[in-house]
Amino acid sequence: MCRTDTHRMSAEDVAERIRSMEIRGAAEIARRAALALREEAEAYEGNDLEGLRSHLERAKELLLASRPTAISLWNGVQYVFKDTSKATTAEEYRSKVRENAEHFVKRSQSALRTIGRLGANRVREGDRVLTHCNSKAAIAVMAEAWAQGKRFEVYATESRPWRQGLLTANDLARLGIPVTMIVDSAVRYVMKDMDLVLVGADTIASNGALINKIGTAQVALAAHEARVSFTVCAETFKFSPRTIYGELVKIEERDPTEVVKEGEVPPQVKVFNPVFDATPPEYIDSIVTEIGVIPPYAAYQVIIKELGQEFIFHEE
């Protein structure tokens, strides 16, 4: 059933909207998934603890299957279930889920504000900043620097195939920040004139590698070659406890029709549409998180310290 308040939607609705990219951006999908679990717990009728538990487990699986790459989704869902095994009644369980979901969203929103403040220190008067795709964290940094009175301009990549760069250009234009759009393949051409690259993250692995929108690795390579600082803006929920086990980050592949429409090429032409890629830590200058600006090599410590052992070893 579709509920109208966007923050009061069922897990099924939210999972579908995440799959279809109506809800997108790694932090946003995590927050919306957490709220969908709260909604499922509240909408469940009855006081049968085991029934509620399995209802929520099903909702959790549905949400986790909606998009595979952003670890923030997995971290958010795990967070919602923190300490729920201790509940002895359905009401206790429900209120723990509610409390965790709301706490997760609050923490994530507050992280975004802190990242904006810390990251703004990296933007200097007169800079040319390049950004890729549409990251709320990277935009928070630019918005804060602009609000502090710094004057700079932004180059935003189109970000094929979904063209999320249009969202970025609109967001920045609304704030009054001068923005120039370029196609993804113009990145190396313009890089020599840039002072800073700011991107977001879907996942940061324990070795400091960044998984973000396809094309990010090429942007990083061009920045490295031109000695332009490549800075990632990411809350600690983007760090992956699962990579500590040696698990590889799954790179989502989406439908070929997002790249070429049916009939545009003959059927024997294969289309490959990976939507994220991995940037090695040696191309990353720093990661702006809510606990400070850190080198990519601090990723392991962030996972252990911020996400916690019991969180890492959470039973699935």
Q: Which is nearer to ligand RUB, 36 or 201 (CB)?
A: 201
Answer for the pair 75, 30: CB distance below 8 angstroms, yes or no: yes
Residue 243, SS3 per DSSP: helix
Q: Least distance from C-beta 41 to ligand RUB, angstroms?
A: 25
Of residues 37, 175, 30, the one with CA closest to residue 106: 30
Q: Does 168 bind ligand RUB (CB under 6 A)?
A: no
25 in contact with ligand RUB (CB under 6 A): yes
Smallest separation, CB 273 to ligand RUB (Å) = 11
Give me the catalytic one of 171, 202, 233, 285. 202
Closest CB to ligand RUB among residues 28, 99:
28
Which positions from 226 to 265 touch ligand RUB by CB under 6 A, shown as an x/- string? ----------------------------------------
> Does residue number 213 form part of the binding site for ligand RUB (CB under 6 A)?
yes
Is 161 near ligand RUB (CB under 6 A)? Answer: no
SS3 call for 108: helix
- Among 130, 137, 141, 156, which residue sits at the site for ligand RUB (rule: CB under 6 A)? 137
Please state the closest distance from residue 202 (CB atom) to ligand RUB, in A: 5
The conformation of residue 306, written as its DSSP 8-state character, comes to I
Stretch that binds ligand RUB, among 79-87, 96-104, 131-139, 286-294 (CB under 6 A): 131-139
Is position 24 an interface residue for ligand RUB (rule: CB under 6 A)?
yes
Sheet holding 196-199, edge to edge: 179-182, 153-157, 128-131, 196-199, 229-233, 286-289, 292-294
Q: How far is the CB of 17 from ligand RUB (least distance, A)?
A: 12
In the set 13, 133, 171, 285, the catalytic residue is 133
**In the complex, least distance from residue 162 CB atom to ligand RUB, rounded to whole angstroms:** 6
**Residue 11 belongs to what H/E stretch?**
helix 11-19
Residue 58: other Cβ atoms inside 10 A: 13
133 noted as active-site residue: yes
DSSP letters for 144-190:
HHHHTT---EEEEE--TTTTTHHHHHHHHHHHT--EEEE-GGGHHHH
Please, which of residues 39-98 interact with ligand RUB by CB under 6 A?
none
Reply yes or no on whether 233 is catalytic. Answer: no
User: 310: Cβ–Cβ under 8 A, 6 or more apart, which residues?
Assistant: none
Q: Report 181-210 residues binding ligand RUB (CB under 6 A).
A: 200-202
Q: Please tell me whether residue 154 binds ligand RUB under the rule CB under 6 A.
A: no
Per the CB < 8 A criterion, the answer to whether 30 and 23 are in contact is: no
The distance of closest approach from Cβ of residue 136 to ligand RUB in the complex, given in angstroms and rounded to an integer, is 3
Nearest CB to ligand RUB, comparing residues 17 and 60: 17
Cβ-based nearer residue to ligand RUB, 59 or 201: 201
DSSP 43-107: H--S--HHHHHHHHHHHHHHHHTT-SS-HHHHHHHHHHTTTGGG--SHHHHHHHHHHHHHHHHHH
Roughly how many angstroms between the first and final C-alpha of the chain, as a whole number? 28
* Distance of alpha carbon 280 from alpha carbon 283, whole angstroms: 6
- Reduced to 3 states (helix: H, G, I; strand: E, B; else coil), residue 138 is helix
Residues 261-290 that bind ligand RUB (CB under 6 A): 275
- Closest contact distance (angstroms) between CB of 11 and ligand RUB is 19
Chain contacts with ligand RUB (rule: CB under 6 A): 24-28, 133, 135-137, 164, 200-202, 212-213, 275
The residues annotated as belonging to the active site are: 133, 202
